[in-house]
Amino acid sequence: MARKDEEEQEQRDFIHPNYAKAMTEHGVSWNTLATLRRSRCPQCGFEFSLSYARTIACRGCPMATKNCPKVRCAKCDHEFYIQEMSHIGGSEYAERAVAKHQSKVERTYNEQIGRNRNR
């Protein structure tokens, strides 16, 4: 039974190129897919997306809109680097691209609702 669970986890650990291509054709970038893909906290095992973490755990942090390379677990507050997320694959380039993308999304949202996150 554990072998089946491991295989299912491996399938969720990356974004399949054909899936990414199909989503790109519909206007969804790879960075958006990466921010929405669920990942597991290395400390407590809680599953969450980068988008969820930035919205909940990084609320009030000025670095959330300044290309922060870290992720904070919304359950246990453990911080780790984006490149440690399994679907990013340890790539510093992908980490930077995803951090920039998520920060831009946060900034745009804050501007739309009139919130100043840089205290």
For 44, phi and psi rounded to 5 degrees? -110, -10
For the CA atoms of 111, 71, 102, 8, the dihedral, rounded to the nearest 10 degrees, stands at: -140
44 pLDDT band, cuts 50/70/90, is very high
pLDDT tens digits, residue range 46-95? 999 888 888 888 877 888 888 888 989 989 999 999 888 877 777 788 88
More confident residue, 104 or 87: 104
C-beta atoms surrounding 19 within 10 Å: 11
Alpha carbons 104 and 11: distance in angstroms, whole number: 29
* pTM: predicted TM-score of the whole model, two decimal places: 0.66
pLDDT at 11: 46
Domain ranges (residues) in the chain: 2-113
For 9, phi and psi rounded to 5 degrees? -65, -40
